[in-house]
Amino acid sequence: MAGNLHLPVVDLASPDLRAAAESVRQACVEHGFFYVTNHGVDRGLLQAVFAQSKGFFDLPMEEKMALLRSANHRGYTPPYAEKLDASSQFVGDLKESFYIGPIDDGDMHNDVNQWPSEERLPSWKETMKLYIAAILDTGTRILSLIALGLDLDADFFHKVGALNCPSTFLRLLHYPGEVNESDSGNYGASAHSDYGVITLLVTDGTPGLQICREKDRNPQLWEDVHHIDGALIINIGDLLERWTNCVFRSTLHRVVAVGKERYSVAFFLDPNPDTLVQCLESCCSEACPPRFPPIKSSDYIFGRINSTYK
């Protein structure tokens, strides 16, 4: 069952930072999802990312498998390799994907990312690097608004070292159009919440993304997230929920099969791996003590990721 959903839209070019921060706070409390416009990522660059993504996923399976996801979570993930909802009756989700982790331009010899052949996809690596730089800048601006919405300084996440070499992952996603009869009822991505702080998502406009704002409701109500041309979709993850003592709530979401190919690009912006995540002072009190013990960011996120793969 899908309902009608109207998510907040936040204008990142607004001169009124406080009003924008309040809109972000309200979105994070009530929905866990919102749109941003005037985000600064060039439309031509977005088109190039989707073209390069399609170019990779169109390669023969043996070429994609040569870049199979490593222990460092970089590279190709084939269909059925990931099961986001452990209760799913299926072997795995329908999607295929490609992960690109943090890039250190000053030390390319230690780059643990995997890259397609430049002979096959000559502009691929440079396009992805340009996009990562642009979307990281947008994500940093959103985190400033989140900090203001939590009654913290705008540069709070900088001050605590979270944005000093943050853990960033770009994930290219491809969902199949035709589904085998044996996969009837399976999901492109089964129900899950994201593990980290914020995710910045752009889609090709094909429907399929749904959210469930009340995790414990029975039966669950799933609502379609509609495409807004030129806008990014932002959602918060479980680590930010933990950081805010559940003032902000991460939201279950999934991608349903709609009988049409679908491409999306997710950018996960998470803290420096050594960041200690503990209840923010503005989110706890004697009446509302911390619900979770402090934990190192990498311990939490990679623990969650590792449990997702067979």
Secondary structure letter of residue 68 according to DSSP: B
Q: Which residues form the domain of 216?
A: 9-221
In a domain, 48, yes or no: yes
Q: With H, G, I as helix, E, B as strand and everything else as coil, classify residue 69.
A: coil
In a domain, 260, yes or no: no
Tokens 């013990």 belong to residue? 293
| pLDDT given at position 59 | 97
In a domain, 262, yes or no: no
Interstrand relation of 96-100 and 75-77 (parallel, antiparallel or unpaired):
antiparallel
Report whether 48 contacts 127 (CB < 8 A). Answer: yes
Two tokens, residue 277: 């995540």
| pLDDT given at position 86 | 85
Q: What is the pTM of this model?
A: 0.95
In a domain, 31, yes or no: yes
Secondary structure letter of residue 274 according to DSSP: T
pLDDT tens digits, one per residue of 132-171:
999 999 999 999 999 999 999 999 999 999 999 999 999 9
Instruction: Tell me: cis bond preceding 271? Omega within 30 of 0 counts.
Output: no
| pLDDT given at position 307 | 75
Q: How many domains does the chain have?
A: 1
pLDDT tens digits, one per residue of 45-65:
999 999 999 999 999 999 999
Interstrand relation of 33-37 and 2-3 (parallel, antiparallel or unpaired):
unpaired
Report whether 252 contacts 194 (CB < 8 A). Answer: no
- Ranges of residues in the chain whose predicted pLDDT is under 50: 1
In a domain, 308, yes or no: no
Q: What is the CATH number of the domain that holds 135?
A: 2.60.120.330
In a domain, 254, yes or no: no
Please state, in angstroms and rounded to a whole number, the distance separating the CA atoms of residues 26 and 166.
Answer: 25
SS3 content of the chain, % helix, strand, coil (to 5): 30, 25, 45
In a domain, 309, yes or no: no
In a domain, 119, yes or no: yes
> What residue ranges in 125-182 does DSSP mark as E strands?
167-175
